[in-house]
Amino acid sequence: MREKKGESHIKTRSKVPLIIFSCLLVFGGAVYWMFFSLKNVPKGSLVQSVESPDGSYTLNTYVSKNTLGLDAARGELVNEKTLVKKTIYWNYPDSRPAVKWLNNNTVKIGGQNLHLDIDETYD
């Protein structure tokens, strides 16, 4: 079956919004990953390690030197059963946040209470 003249132009025009939307989605995802995700923060140098009361978790704090002259702090939670690591705290400027476990699932770091059972983070 032959296409009528102009049908291919309509098919192409209907794909333009989809292509634009796809490009915006990819660009938005890249911006989020680079500027708002805790997965992209600098690793830093280890400052301290503090174990939870029941030994299930360890919170490692790191300091990252910044080109602006002020340090930034990162808190990395390590699940001791699975050895999965996750950044849960990022603060600038900060060089040595105080860490205190309030119970087995709540840690106070740099004045912020983070509840691990609901995956809270601070950035």
Q: Name the H helices within the chain.
A: 7-35
Q: Are 51 and 110 members of one domain?
A: yes
Strands 106-109 and 112-115 turn out to be antiparallel
**123 in any annotated domain:** no
pLDDT at residue 83, as a whole number = 92
Q: Are 59 and 102 members of one domain?
A: yes
| pLDDT confidence band for 2 (50 / 70 / 90) | low
pLDDT of 109 above 80: yes
pLDDT by residue (tens digit) across 35-94? Answer: 554 555 657 788 899 999 999 999 999 888 766 678 888 899 999 999 998 989 988 888
Q: Are 53 and 4 members of one domain?
A: no
pLDDT by residue (tens digit) across 5-26? Answer: 555 556 666 777 777 777 677 6
Please give the C-alpha separations between residue 92 and each of 17, 81, 112, in angstroms, as whole numbers: 40, 30, 14
Q: Are 17 and 77 members of one domain?
A: no
The residues facing 58 across adjacent strands are 51, 78
Copy the structure tokens of residue 120. Answer: 């809270």
Contact 62, 77 (CB under 8 A): no
